[in-house]
Amino acid sequence: MVSRAPLVAVGLVWLMLASNAAADFSHSGSLKNLSAGARSLVDDDRYFSNLTRLRLEPRYRYQDWVLDAAYDLELVTGSFLDSPEFALLRDSPDPRYWDLQGEVHESGDVLAHHQLYRGTIQWRSSAGDFRLGRQQVNWSTALIWNPMDILNPVSPLQLEPDERIGVDALLWDTSWGATGRISAVHAPQHNDTDASTAARAKRFVAGVDVGVMVGEFAGATRAGISGSGSVAGTGWRTELVWSEADTGDSYWQGVADLNWAFRNGFNLALEYFYNGQPPPPENLNLLRLVSTRPLYTGGHYAGLLVWQDINPFWQYRVVAIRNADDTSWVLYPRSTWNLPLNREIYVTAGAQWFGGDDDSEYGRLEPLGLMEVQWFF
């Protein structure tokens, strides 16, 4: 398939050049450098990865039309390029429908890649809002695990928690009374059996934010319900999703969450996650690299999430997870500092530690460290 990424770059440049001609044009961006080091799960060799990403985000508005985009130019260096993990990632298929990404340059020492991370055109009408393009469609409410996040799932161990691959889709969204919304989405695929079509209704009823979802997702029928609210100063969230594959196998996934926010800015959340279809543990860590969905070997998990803005320049976030079936665990702290400069620059340091038996889900993993610097402009 011919890559359309160069055409996207030309279109974004044209929009920037046209900014003086349209009062409703704006643009922003960021420059990020993310360094990470770990040990290969295949050959046990240590590797180092350094990612530099330039992201340009133009936005154009004309009457009831809005055009949003986020274009990435990425440079990857380090010994990670020689690791078996990188070979698996490189050969894995891209789950998105349009070919709006590609390699600019590749050698043994460097990989240059670009993509349209987000790109949508939105029309606001009396019949609702229509948004077409590469976008995030997140119908989840929980904090660590997200069974309702069918189209843009993310692992709680992801190195960039805010980054989601996105889905190429048409989304329709409209209000439902004063406190509700109804949404419908269609995400095509080149194989029709892998396409997704679904709808969700959400409304605030008797102090509870209730959501209901149903649809076909990549060859599986799924239906889910979510709820969130607060009782006596304690917040709660829950999600329950039923899935049935084309083979006839069905299973449940669910999450229950209790959370507290204190006056000093300290936030605490406790979650229980039930996974009704654990995959076989063999080669699970390698399957996670190429799968578009988070995979878990256990059926029962407990999670702790703590975060706090200590002051305007320092915040931290800690995730702790325990697999109740094999007693393995992971600890994932991240701390971010906003440098006291005229420019908006953030520095983040983090690590992942694992424990458990060598054949357990998390015990077989190696510690990982990361350092991130991001400048917004």
Supply the DSSP string of 355-372, one letter for each residue: ES-TTSTTTTSPPEEEEE
Q: What is the pLDDT of residue 23?
A: 53
Residue 157 domain flag: no
Same domain as 243, residue 304: yes
Q: What is the pLDDT of residue 88?
A: 83
Give the pLDDT of residue 359.
87
- DSSP-derived letter for residue 248 is S
> What is the 3-class SS of 289-356, one letter each residue?
HHCCCCCCCCCEEEEEEEEEEEECCEEEEEEEEEECCCCCEEEEEEEEEECCCCCEEEEEEEEEEEEC
Q: What is the pLDDT of residue 2?
A: 40
Per-residue confidence (pLDDT) for residue 4, from 0 to 100: 53
Strand 314-323 relative to strand 25-39: parallel, antiparallel, unpaired? Answer: unpaired
Assigned token pair, 342: 């005229």
CA distance 110 to 81: 8
In a domain, 351, yes or no: yes
> Does residue 185 form part of some domain?
yes
Query: Does 266 share its domain with 345?
Result: yes
Residues in the chain: 377
Q: Are residues 106 and 213 in the same domain?
A: no
DSSP state of 20: G
- Note whether 197 and 76 are same-domain residues: no
Q: Which two tokens stand for residue 335?
A: 């701390």
Vertex 275: Cα angle to 271 and 277 (nearest 5): 170
In a domain, 204, yes or no: yes
In this structure, is residue 159 part of a structural domain?
Answer: no
Number of domain units in the chain = 2
What is the predicted pLDDT for the residue at 235?
A: 97
Query: Looking at the structure, do residues 244 and 124 belong to the same domain, yes or no?
Result: no
User: Containing domain of residue 325, as a range?
Assistant: 174-377
Distance CA 9, CA 55 (A): 12
Sequential pLDDT tens for the chain (377 residues): 445 544 454 455 455 445 444 459 999 999 999 999 999 888 889 999 999 999 999 999 999 999 999 999 999 999 999 998 898 888 888 889 999 999 999 888 899 999 999 999 999 999 999 999 999 999 999 999 999 998 988 899 999 998 988 999 999 999 999 999 999 999 999 998 899 999 999 999 999 999 999 999 988 999 999 999 999 999 999 999 999 988 888 999 999 999 999 999 999 999 999 999 887 656 666 666 656 678 898 999 999 999 999 998 999 999 999 999 999 999 999 999 999 988 899 999 999 999 999 889 999 899 999 999 999 99
The domain that holds 204 is classified in CATH as: 2.40.160.100
Amino acid in the structure at residue 57: E
pTM for this model (two decimals):
0.89
Adjacent-strand bridge partners of 212: 201, 225
The count of other CB atoms within 10 Å of the CB of residue 193 is 9
End-to-end CA distance of the chain: 34
- Domain membership of residue 125 (yes or no) is yes
Domain shared by 231 and 363, yes or no: yes
Residue 265, classed as helix, strand or coil, is coil
CA distance 135 to 69: 9
Tokens of 10: 């030309």
The sign one gets for the Cα dihedral 73, 78, 82, 86 is negative
* Amino acid 167: pLDDT: 95
Q: Answer yes or no: is 161 within a domain.
A: no
